[in-house]
A and B are shown apart, each in its own frame.
Chain A
């Protein structure tokens, strides 16, 4: 059964790095892994995506395990504005989008 598993919540101190894990053990070899975040009262916002190798952009880094069964979203220096629910997603071979329940990230000042 296709699914994505994430911790319900995590906490981090401001200006510290944050590592948000995701397990997607049933993903196929050609499906991209996408991460989104949802701020309160807003629609989800794209963060980053990747296939096999690690990816960086201005918002975050994405580390993908060699077997692709898990990935980690890395926020290098968390700020209060990064407090949100972070979703890891992927697409099945029949184009269904699998969203995890998300990780609620709390940032402590």
Chain B
């Protein structure tokens, strides 16, 4: 158990819809990271937060947004969903920048 909790585990929705994925970091970790993993692909870094502030953006689409709240949990919002957004979305946390990351079990998003 990594200590990182992601909800929901599975999400099925239709094109054009909007969803919110939630992540609770490991106790004491200030950094939260979001990744997308498409079928048989590696992990694509989306965005990173540190203690409530956005720290770095990767290959995150404009239709996607995220935030980290004062209690350090984070949410990833995906809107105007397309079939290609179907993927596993992982959240990870670390005590600080550049430190080892601990990953959750992911949310599997299926767009029908």
Contact = CB atoms under 8 A, between A and B. Distances in A.
Interface string B38-66: 00011111001000000111100000000
A44 B42 CA distance: 11
B97 interface: yes
Interface stretch (B13-21, B78-86, B99-107): B99-107
A66 interface: no
A68 to B, nearest CB: 15
Interface residues of B, number: 25
B105 A97 contact: no
Q: Quick one: which of A42, A96, A102 has the most chain B CB within 10 A? A: A96
Given A43-B105, A44-B90, A44-B103, A96 B98 contact: no
Interface of B: 2, 4, 33, 35, 41-45, 48, 55-58, 90, 92, 97-98, 100-106
Contacts of B58: 96-97
Contact of B45 (A31, A32, A99, A102): A99
Contacts of A95: 48, 55-56, 97
Interface string A66-109: 00000000000000000000010001001111111110000000
B56 A45 contact: no
Contacts of B55: 95
Contacts of A45: 2, 103
A46 B100 contact: yes
